[in-house]
Amino acid sequence: GENVEQHPSTLSVQEGDSAVIKCTYSDSASNYFPWYKQELGKRPQLIIDIRSNVGEKKDQRIAVTLNKTAKHFSLHITETQPEDSAVYFCAASRGNFNKFYFGSGTKLNVKP
Amino acid sequence: DAGVIQSPRHEVTEMGQEVTLRCKPISGHDYLFWYRQTMMRGLELLIYFNNNVPIDDSGMPEDRFSAKMPNASFSTLKIQPSEPRDSAVYFCATTPPGTANTEAFFGQGTRLTVV
């Protein structure tokens, strides 16, 4: 099955700085890569996703890049704000079954 | 729609007792997933259903765990007998029909504590 690895496990940045979280996956057939944000005590919620026919996608301050050859994808958050503090999960899935394999999570702390 | 609804939100039970967690999916969603979240292991997929049929239960840790989906609007995850190592947050998530690889909508989760 798929194996998704995520780094770093914790990340602390100053408000206004950029944050980058990286994930690798093992199954070359994976073709959908969502990112979820989970605030303390809340449910995970989708913030951005990318499909394997696209190399980069951007939505305001967040962007995701995908390198299919190297089998890795990254989340980039620019101009970080305290409300960006949360745990971020990457995931990968393939085929028609919506079976998501999640990374272990990155706890992002944005210091004001 | 109120989203995916899970109950109870919190459950504290004694070791050896039976625990039943409940999930009501978003109306019309045809995939339903049960995840377990712990600090050590992150988000683990336990089992998922498509159109009420279990598709993959390879993530279910032991025979003590079972899940059912008797109809399109209700699913249960049962642990019998429960053990302290089952303590975790259990999430139910659903996805809409017709499109592969799409957003999973999570419920609020059930925080289970087995003492």
pLDDT the model gives residue B97: 80
pLDDT the model gives residue A94: 82
pLDDT the model gives residue B2: 78
Which residues of A are less than 8 Å from B106 in CB distance? Answer: 43-45
Contact B95 A105 (CB under 8 A): no
Interface mutation vs chain A, best among B29, B101, B111, most A CBs within 10 Å: B101
Q: Is the pLDDT of residue B15 over 70?
A: yes
Q: Which two tokens stand for residue B34?
A: 């049960």
Interface mutation vs chain A, best among B5, B10, B35, B43, most A CBs within 10 Å: B43
> What's the whole-number mean pLDDT along residues B67-92?
97
Please list the alpha-helical segments (H only) found in B2-97.
none
Task: Give the model confidence (pLDDT) of A10-34 as tens digits.
Answer: 999 999 999 999 999 999 989 999 9
> What's the whole-number mean pLDDT along residues B77-84?
97
Identify the sign of the CA torsion A101, A37, A7, A24. Answer: positive
The answer to whether A98 faces chain B, any CB pair under 8 Å, is yes
- Nearest neighbour of A46 by CB, restricted to B35, B91, B103: B103
Find out whether A80 and A62 touch, Cβ atoms under 8 Å: no
Q: Is the pLDDT of residue B100 over 80?
A: no
Q: Which two tokens stand for residue A2?
A: 């798929």
Q: Is the pLDDT of residue B105 over 70?
A: yes
DSSP category for residue B20 = E
Contact A43 B101 (CB under 8 A): no
The answer to whether A30 faces chain B, any CB pair under 8 Å, is no
- Residues sharing a CB contact under 8 Å with residue A37, sequence separation 6 or more, in sequence order: A44, A45, A47, A86, A87, A88, A89
Task: Give the model confidence (pLDDT) of B39-56 as tens digits.
Answer: 888 899 999 999 999 999
Which residue in chain B has the smallest CA separation from A90? B43
pLDDT the model gives residue A98: 67
Distance CA B16, CA B37 (A): 21
pLDDT the model gives residue A85: 98
pLDDT the model gives residue B87: 97
Contact A46 B56 (CB under 8 A): no
Find out whether B21 and B76 touch, Cβ atoms under 8 Å: yes
pLDDT the model gives residue A95: 65
Measured in angstroms, the CA of B80 and the nearest CA of chain A are apart by: 26
Q: Is the pLDDT of residue B1 over 90?
A: no
Amino acid in the structure at residue A76: H
pLDDT the model gives residue A96: 61
Task: Give the model confidence (pLDDT) of A45-100 as tens digits.
Answer: 999 999 888 899 999 999 999 999 999 999 999 999 999 999 999 999 886 666 88
pLDDT the model gives residue A1: 75
